[in-house]
Structure 1
Amino acid sequence: MGCYCSKGLVTINNRAFYMQERIGEGGYAYIDLIEDKKSGKFFALKRITCHSKEDETEALKEAEYCRMFNHPNIIKVEEFTTVKKTQTTSVWIVFPFFKLGSLQDLIEKTAKNNSYIHEDRLLGIFKGICEGVKAMHEATPSPVTHRDIKPANVLLDENDTPVLMDFGSVGPARVEIKGSAEAQAMQDLAAAKCTMPWRAPELFHVESHCIIDDKVDIWSLGCTLYAMIYLEGPFDAVWQKGDSVQLAVLSRNVKFPEDQQSLYSAELLDLINALLVVNPAERPNINWVIQRVEDLCLNALAANRV
Structure 2
Amino acid sequence: MGGALSTVNACVCGRGLVTINQKRYLHQDNIGEGGFSYVDLIEDAKSGTFFALKRIICHDKKAENEALEEVEYCRMFHHENIIPLVDHCIKNKGRLTEVWLVLPYYKRGTLYDEYQRLATKNEKIPKDRVLSLFLGSCKGVEAFHNHQPEALAHRDIKPGNVLITNEDVPVLMDLGSVAPARVTIRNAKEAQALQDLAAERCTMPFRAPELFQVPLHCIIDEKVDIWSLGCILFSLMYLEGPFDQVWLKKDSVALAVQNRNLPFPQTDLYPATYRNLVRRLMDVEPATRPNISWVIEHVEALINDNT
TM-score band w.r.t. shorter chain: over 0.9
Q: Does residue 1:156 correspond to 2:156, yes or no?
A: no
Query: Does 1:290 find its partner at 2:288?
Result: no
3-state SS in 1 of match to 2:219:
strand
Q: CA deviation at 1:253?
A: 1.5
Instruction: Tell me by how many angstroms 1:11 deviates.
Output: 1.0
Query: How do 1:85-100 and structure 2 match up within 5 A?
Result: 85-100=93-108
Aligned to 1:52: 60
- Does residue 239 (structure 1) correspond to residue 284 (structure 2)? The answer is no
For 1:268, the equivalent position in structure 2 comes to 274
Give TM-score, length-normalised by structure 1: 0.96
Give yes or no for the alignment of 1:184 onto 2:192.
yes
State the AA in 2 paired with 1:234.
P
Q: Deviations over 1:23-73 (max 9, x none)?
A: 001211000000011211000000011010000000111111111110000
Rounded Cα–Cα distance in structure 2 between residues aligned with 1:59 and 1:29 = 10
Q: In structure 2, what residue type is equivalent to 1:4? A: V
Q: How does 1:60-209 map to 2 (within 5 A)?
A: 60-209=68-217
Deviations 1:176-209 (CA, angstroms, capped at 9, x unpaired): 1111111100000000000000000000000121
Per-residue CA distance 1:156-193 (angstroms, 9 max, x = gap)? 01111000000111110111111111110000000000
Offset at residue 272 of structure 1 (A): 0.5
SS of aligned partner of 1:163: strand
1:154 & 1:46 partners in 2: Cα distance? 16
CA root-mean-square deviation:
0.8
Aligned-pair identity in percent equals 56
Q: Once superposed, which parts of structure 1, at least 4 consecutive aligned residues long, lie more than 4 Å away?
A: none
Q: Secondary structure of the residue that 1:149 maps to in structure 2?
A: coil
Aligned to 2:3: none
Letter in 1 for 2:125: I
Partner of 1:10: 18
Deviates most, 189-198 or 138-147: 138-147
Deviation, 1:126, is 0.6
Residue 8 of structure 1 aligns to which amino acid in structure 2?
Answer: G
Q: Which amino acid aligns with 1:103?
A: L
Q: Quick one: which amino acid aligns to residue 46 of structure 1?
A: K
Q: Please, which of 265, 284, 287 is the counterpart of residue 257 of structure 1?
A: 265
Secondary structure at 1:106 match in 2: helix
- Give unmatched runs, 5+ long, in structure 2: 1-7
Shift of 1:110: 1.3
Equivalent pairs, count: 299
Q: 1:304 matched to which residue of 2?
A: none
Q: Distance in 1 between matches of 2:73 and 2:220?
A: 19
User: Hey, what does 1:279 align to over in structure 2?
Assistant: 285
SS at match of 2:13: strand
The alignment's TM-score, normalised by the length of structure 2, stands at 0.96
Q: CA deviation at 1:227?
A: 0.6
Q: Which amino acid aligns with 2:129?
A: R
- Taking the aligned partners of 2:143 and 2:206, their CA distance within structure 1 comes to 21
- TM-superposed CA distance for 1:142, in Å, is 2.2
Distance 1:80 1:212 in 2: 32
Residue number in structure 1 paired with 2:235: 227
